[in-house]
Amino acid sequence: MENAWKTEIPEFRPEDNPHGLLEESSFATLFPKYRETYLKECWPLVQNSLSKFHIKADLDLLEGSMTVRTTRKTWDPASILKARDLIKLLSRSVPYEHAVRVMEDDMAADIIKIGSMVRNRDKFVKRRQRLIGPGGCTLKSIELLTNCYVLVQGQTVAALGPFKGLQQVRRIVTDTMKNVHPIYNIKALMIKRELERNPKLKNENWDRFLPNFKPKNVPKKKSTKKAKKPYTPFPPAPAESKIDKLLESGEYFLKEDEKQKRKKKLKEDKQKEAKIKREAKRNMAFIPPVE
């Protein structure tokens, strides 16, 4: 098989399973409070779309749950799984017009949980915003390249589209949460789309055309936390004033001319020490090496 993605799947019809299903299957999912009004409005449409497959749908507003179940007339075994994906998408704020497309044969849904991928809350918010992009342009480009409908809501990413596109969306989302900018994957998808049109490069390796991302180890900022001193109930000793220091050294009781003489003597002593060091440094060049 050359390309499994392009193989046509034959349509499943009621004539293929005239006896229906033997057992009843059901799936339920909870939805948040803010979705209650919207679901109440669009629920007749949901029931109408599922009635074509003889699947019953129930909305429980007290419990806050949606349930789908098969009947004796249900002829498509996969339709209950599609209906399960439909109510999951509706609970994740996907509009009915997009969510109902999951009932088609060549469509599938994927809900990616991104809340546990990043521990730091600030980093999570920044990376999620990076996935959306300024004005939603990054998300729109992902949708155009993968032929999928993508919705970022809270701590999940809901995707709806063909199977190949869903794989690409999942890879982009997981890489973004691992601090790989989505522009790298978007650029790779654009290059692959151009290479697919070239019949000469059909059977060649495309790695040399794709962008290579190299992660950089950015040095972390050193923490400026000071070490805690041991607790003591006594207050710290007051800092010594200039007069205290003069009293301690004895300079306070000296006369002005004596102070000047003392300063001059200290200065001369420092100059002598510096002179001795300079001469020693000069004489180093004249010392013969040890044989």
pLDDT of residue 269: 93
Least confident of 42-46, 183-187, 189-193, 215-219: 215-219
pLDDT category of residue 45 using cuts at 50, 70 and 90: very high
Mean of per-residue pLDDT scores for the chain: 87
Q: Is the pTM of this model over 0.85?
A: no
pLDDT of residue 149: 95
Q: What is the mean pLDDT of residues 24-49?
A: 93
Q: What is the mean pLDDT of residues 196-220?
A: 75
Residue 167 has pLDDT above 70, yes or no: yes
CA–CA dist 178, 172 (Å, integer):
10
- Of the two residues 52 and 1, the one the predictor is more confident about is 52
Q: Note the CATH architecture for domain 16-105.
A: 2-Layer Sandwich (3.30)
CA–CA dist 144, 124 (Å, integer):
25
Can you state the angle between helices 163-177 and 121-132, rounded to 10 degrees?
140
CA–CA dist 133, 149 (Å, integer):
16
pLDDT digits (tens, 9 = 90+) for 152-163: 998 999 999 999
CA–CA dist 94, 159 (Å, integer):
9
Residue 225 has pLDDT above 80, yes or no: no
Q: Domain 106-213, CATH 3.30.1330.10 — does that match?
A: no
Cα→Cα distances 73→22, 56, 68, 190, 267, Å: 10, 11, 14, 46, 109
- Of the two residues 203 and 239, the one the predictor is more confident about is 239
pLDDT category of residue 5 using cuts at 50, 70 and 90: low
Q: What is the mean pLDDT of residues 86-104?
A: 93
Mapped onto helix, strand or coil, the DSSP state of residue 62 is coil
Instruction: Parse the chain into domains and list their residue ranges.
Output: 16-105, 106-213
- Of the two residues 111 and 197, the one the predictor is more confident about is 111
Domains 16-105 and 106-213 share a fold: yes
Q: What is the mean pLDDT of residues 241-252?
A: 84
Among candidates 27, 103, 102, 98, which has minimal Cα distance to 65? 27
Residue 220 has pLDDT above 80, yes or no: no
